[in-house]
Structure 1
């Protein structure tokens, strides 16, 4: 998975002599060690401020400086080129991570004891995304793409939580027949096409799809036809202005009872509750196939913690990550951020998320397919076009064409 950017980064490191340089973490006049924690989640800044304050009280000889700039991943890549690499980095398990791991920016933690209690599925996801056998980060928190539903509306209409695709569509038909909106779509924001499509594709494309795609042994036209078809089937149960509504509009509309189901990630729940604290919510995994219990939950590493391979303070950096992984601190994060822990034994206890617990307990998890699709392919934009034009064959043909273009530029 060595993209052009990886080659450029790696070449720069060699030419500039960065391989022998350490990140510059200036220590203060009192002799305290300063380390930088760079993380990309703006919504988690206050949570990390709280945790950092606690860490510094327990470790008075270490100061942690949190960096959380807008467009953080772009900023991080620019800082790598400028040889300003933070001691600890918190990003997602996506193409940015893959590129930087391949450029040897991160410390190898394959045999590090920090991984001992991490869910194996999440460790494997890091390997799959990077295309490397070694592990270059510690999975910290996970999110999930699920169906969020209004429990009161389901009860009113006598609908049970569906466990198969046919039951899912039957539930949508029942809701529609009652004069209500089954799904609230927000396609003004192209990325909101992804949560539902990720679940459909992950459960139907085959476990080796992207590996086979890179070898030219598979195509989107063949392997994503079922997912695209089912995506279009869901469109039949939306509302009239689904291309004119944005993500924030959808959160408020769903909170106010405008639809029975919302095809979003669990990250939307705090915003929904903010709009209506009294709403009675539940969640369930997308039932993509017609075999009960066969569909897996799409859950990826939303936040991983990686060490700079050139940090001047590796021991202090590790101590900070050990602190974040401790039960009490991990619970603070997952409770405030409505996330799931990547560590075994640290349970998300929010009753709203009860419907996803069996999937986590069984390890019945699949990664987000869009994590493997280069940004240049524009999966979200292509889905936005598909939702509007309803031409499945053209959508799949375009994905194959754009994928090939990216591969040829490598």
Structure 2
């Protein structure tokens, strides 16, 4: 995996690291320590504002300020190049995190006492992403990718939640025969085309496939990925009459108002759906990807992790804020407001909409998102969207392989 050591690209990362200066926050005229908390989720800004206000009140000598810009990952990368790294960073377990995690930007948090409270499966996901044993990110909140369904429609059509792929397709056919749209597909937004891929690939091919692809031991043209592609195509006939003309916002409203029985989405969409219809009887099940129901895993990744800048002058105060965020009361408040799942053990998500997912968390039947292991420069979303429009699985897998190789060669 040494060949996969990642770089920031246009900027010379080595130069950045050698000249990295302290963060812009610090001791001010008011005698308080000012800390910047930079996080990437606009929908979570309100939740973090509440927690920050509570922390600042309990810690009068520290002032935490939240930064939440549009296109946050790009802003963060730009700031890193300019040696302006925020004290604390909240972000998803993405390719950007992997790049920064391997580059010495984040402090190693090994030995912190609260690590014993973090779900080790999510910790391992971060280590797999960076290919390192250093602990430079603390999993905070997780999400889930699967199938939402309208319980009222299922009850009316006398349908049971499918447990296998064949049952899944049978349910879709029954719904269609009843004159109801089985899936409201929102493939005008390319990122939504990748949601089914993210469920199929980790379950059918396994995350190890992507780790082996880094070392050039496997190819996307291997038969196991052909099955992933074929199943992604199989859903299309059960969508709307305009699968590539509907957006994520369209889907949230339409599904909320009963225009489809099922919705391929993530748990992050639940608050938006409820804004459109607070009374919807919403259910959520893990995508049944194969023939063995017991082998099926829920796709759940680190939606928000917390990292501390290696360059911060206020590590002690930064760690105090992180410790505050993972206190039971505070993480419980966050996941309730965000319909997320706690990476802190012992804190359950009690929303009835996702009750059917809890057994997967209890038993550890979880697997990470496939696209967390695919470099952003590969542009997976647009590749999947183009593939679904054209229907040529062979061409898609060949192109995915070639784009991966191009990016890998640039990073080697």
1:387 counterpart = 2:388: yes
- Give the whole-Å Cα distance in 2 for the aligned partners of 1:28 and 1:155: 61
Matches within 5 A, 1:3-402: 3-5=6-8, 8-16=11-19, 18=20, 21-222=21-222, 223-402=224-403
* Contact 2:297–2:365 (CA under 8 A) maintained in structure 1: yes
Provide TM-score, normalisation by structure 1: 0.97
* Contact 2:187–2:244 (CA under 8 A) maintained in structure 1: yes
Q: Deviations over 1:166-192 (max 9, x none)?
A: 111111111011011111101100000
* Contact 1:6–1:102 (CA under 8 A) maintained in structure 2: no
Q: CA deviation at 1:385?
A: 1.0
* Contact 2:11–2:81 (CA under 8 A) maintained in structure 1: no
* Contact 2:213–2:219 (CA under 8 A) maintained in structure 1: yes
Q: In structure 2, do the counterparts of structure 1 residues 14 and 293 end up closer, same or farther at CA, with 3 Å as the change threshold?
A: closer
Q: CA deviation at 1:110?
A: 2.5
Q: In structure 2, do the counterparts of structure 1 residues 104 and 113 end up closer, same or farther at CA, with 3 Å as the change threshold?
A: same
- Give the whole-Å Cα distance in 2 for the aligned partners of 1:113 and 1:244: 50
Q: CA deviation at 1:376?
A: 1.9
1:405 counterpart = 2:392: no
- Give the whole-Å Cα distance in 1 for the aligned partners of 2:268 and 2:123: 22
Runs (5+) with no aligned partner, structure 1: none
- Give the whole-Å Cα distance in 1 for the aligned partners of 2:105 and 2:96: 11
* Contact 1:285–1:296 (CA under 8 A) maintained in structure 2: yes
| Alignment: residue pair count | 407
- Give the whole-Å Cα distance in 2 for the aligned partners of 1:100 and 1:363: 28
Q: CA deviation at 1:213?
A: 1.0
Q: CA deviation at 1:13?
A: 2.7
- Give the whole-Å Cα distance in 2 for the aligned partners of 1:4 and 1:105: 12
- Give the whole-Å Cα distance in 1 for the aligned partners of 2:266 and 2:121: 19
Runs (5+) with no aligned partner, structure 2: none
- Give the whole-Å Cα distance in 1 for the aligned partners of 2:15 and 2:114: 30
Q: Deviations over 1:188-218 (max 9, x none)?
A: 0000011111001110113411121122211
* Contact 2:360–2:366 (CA under 8 A) maintained in structure 1: yes
Provide TM-score, normalisation by structure 2: 0.96
Q: CA deviation at 1:14?
A: 4.5
